[in-house]
Amino acid sequence: MASSGISSMSAKKQEGLGETLLTVIYAVLIALVIRTFAFEPFNIPSGSMIPTLLVGDYLFVSKYSYGYSKHSFPLSAAPFDGRILESAPERGDVVVFKTPADDKTDFIKRVIGLPGDTVRMQDGRLFINGQLVERQRVDEYTYRDTYGSVLRLTRYIETLPGGKQHPILEDGDHSRYDNTAEFKVPEGHFFMMGDNRDISLDSRADVGFVPSQNLVGRAEFIFFSTDGTARLWEVWRWPFAMRFSRFFDGIH
């Protein structure tokens, strides 16, 4: 009788372990499906999109906005090229994409040029299809960069063709990428720029034109934000490091 009782307990333990393992497997599969086809979280490690996005912002990107490519899947492991259920981004969308240089590194920038557009910079001013893009000075914007230096830049509101408005920062109009050749955006490609214009590596130089299949998704909203002053183990400092005012902010 005692032996039978022990066997019964062992069987129940094995059954419980099996159910736990199945639950974990189902949870992982559900998370992978959501990450692949619905939303994927990203964090912002650099200041190229300030003031729209700050270092330490965590955001959700909608994977369904532009359809699906191999880069929609973990490790870009899908065996096809191009896009399925494709929908084109709009000018002014904030987009996560795989940089064409290696097809692996995630970048986040704003769509400035659509297929067929011409884009150029002259004395710090943006021209699209030969037309000067309006910008209106707002104020001085101050922030501390990742090296601890305090930067004071000018904030403008830029109005793209079609009427979409967004903030940009300029440290003057004679920086490295403030004068460029005229770029003609090829079919199936997009021209990307960061909102922090003078420190952004984008389509004006290093990134180049971004193919449609490299688009990962559209940035939708910030779900968490921290200024980086609290380390992971410094629990008592977390409330002071969190930027609560940015939680659930939409990205425009």
111/126 Cα distance (integer angstroms) = 13
Measured from the Cβ of residue 139, the count of other Cβ atoms closer than 10 Å reads 8
- Residue 80 one-letter amino acid: F
Q: Which of 48, 72, 200, 212 is flagged as catalytic?
A: 48
239/46 Cα distance (integer angstroms) = 22
Q: Which of 70, 72, 109, 203 is flagged as catalytic?
A: 109
16/86 Cα distance (integer angstroms) = 44
Closest of 125, 94, 62, 123 to residue 193, by C-alpha: 94
- Residue 144 one-letter amino acid: R
51/196 Cα distance (integer angstroms) = 7
Inter-residue contact 70 to 76 (CB < 8 Å)? yes
Active site residue 48: yes
Strand intervals (E) in 26-130:
39-43, 57-62, 94-98, 106-113, 118-122, 125-128
Q: Which two tokens stand for residue 118?
A: 């011409």
78/63 Cα distance (integer angstroms) = 15
Active site residue 72: no
DSSP state of 236: G
Phi, psi of 72 (to 5 degrees): -75, -20
Residues annotated as catalytic are 48, 109
